[in-house]
Amino acid sequence: MRGLHRLLFGGVLFSALLFCFCADSVDGPSDDSGSDLGFEVTVHDASKACQGTTFFVYKYTDPDIMYEVDMDGSVVWKYELPDSIGNAQSEAEMFSHDSILLVAQGTGIYLLDTAGTISWQHNDGNVSHDADILSNGNILYVFGMGDMKSDTIVKEITPAGETVWGWRASDWFNYEPFASIDPIAEEGWAHTNAVTRLRNGRTLISIRNFNMIVEVDTAGVPRDTILDVAYSPHDPEVVDSTYLYVVHQTTTYMAAMKINRRTKDVDWEYGFDDQGDFPVRDVNLLPNGNVLVTAATRLVEITQDKEVVWELALTDSIAKGNGPSKGFYKAERLPE
């Protein structure tokens, strides 16, 4: 979840240097740009866009490649994921233009720098979607792809890998309409896709299959829920004590939403009607008030007046049905 890069890992850089791989690091924008990469910038209003670089994982190559590009789409930095890590479909986030937290679904969590050096890793087959490094140096992460009722779907571990906190949805929501959800047909029983530790010490959890965003206390007790406002919610980002942004997605309509956490009202919404955009998975509030939304085929920066002021899009159309596995998953704008 967002906000981790502001912590700069709380000064914690783990001491276990495990191994390193080759990365292609560029001091300035490289000659790589345009449609030859498989993507290009199609909209850029420099007077309204939040200037900086954009980080994302591109999955139309083998292996997957992590990219940092400038506002014109030229490559600043790239890194090919080695086979030993696997896929980054779940999440990769860059912090301070130097450190990356990578979640490889079904494999583990990795902390690496832009030289490709892995300084820490935690192996866990029950990991997917999202991980955060907390201010105390612990790591908070979720298991949502293929979870069963009995699974712990949120864990907090120490850098040494010791589990110090865990949460099971079945302890609190094993009743209808949730109890009968088919974990095989629905890619997991709860299919939790995001977690964040709030400033009040509570934990915010996004549960896709429940159409629920739930806030739990340190004992795991649900204290607040946003239910059936954003359907199949994805990657909520807390703005303050009143608002959060989240993605709403159905098979016919996707939207980035700003929800009032107190009234449960939708205060702002930007919709995506093109099925080529499915799924939309990520929305980030930028420092200038714009939002950066990640759809399967494009990254879009939108003003509060709903004007598109920057867009990076795939140059080839995505085959229907490949969006979940091949499309853009998440993106980060690293301001200047």
pLDDT tens per residue, range 236-282: 999 999 999 999 998 889 999 999 999 999 999 999 987 777 788 89
Structure confidence at residue 287 (pLDDT): 96
215-231 pLDDT per residue, tens? 999 999 999 999 999 99
Q: Which amino acid is at 121?
A: Q
Structure confidence at residue 3 (pLDDT): 44
CATH number of 4-335: 2.120.10.30
The CA distance from 283 to 237, in Å, is 8
The CA distance from 296 to 185, in Å, is 22
Task: Write the CA distances from 127 to 95, 121, 168, 170, integer angstroms.
Answer: 21, 13, 14, 18
Cβ-based burial of 4 (10 A; exposed 0-12, middle 13-18, buried ≥19): buried
Residue 80 tokens, joined: 């090919």
35 HSE (CA, 13 A, CB side)? 4
Structure confidence at residue 88 (pLDDT): 55
Q: Which amino acid is at 314?
A: L
What are the structural domain ranges in the chain?
Answer: 4-335
Structure confidence at residue 9 (pLDDT): 39
Cis peptide before 177 (omega within 30 of 0): yes
The CA distance from 132 to 156, in Å, is 9
196-211 pLDDT per residue, tens? 999 999 999 999 999 9
Tens-digit pLDDT string for the chain (336 aa): 544 333 333 444 433 333 333 344 433 334 465 557 889 999 999 999 999 999 998 877 777 888 999 999 999 999 888 877 766 555 788 876 678 999 988 889 999 998 888 999 999 989 998 999 999 999 999 999 999 999 999 999 999 999 999 999 999 999 999 999 999 999 999 999 999 999 999 999 999 999 999 999 999 999 999 999 999 999 999 999 999 999 999 888 999 999 999 999 999 999 998 777 778 889 999 999 999 999 988 999 999 999 999 999 998 766 555 656 677 889 999 988
Q: What are phi and psi of 216, to 5 degrees?
A: -120, 150
Structure confidence at residue 87 (pLDDT): 60
Q: What is the largest CA-CA distance in the chain?
A: 56
DSSP string of 216-231?
A: E-TT--EEEEEESSSS
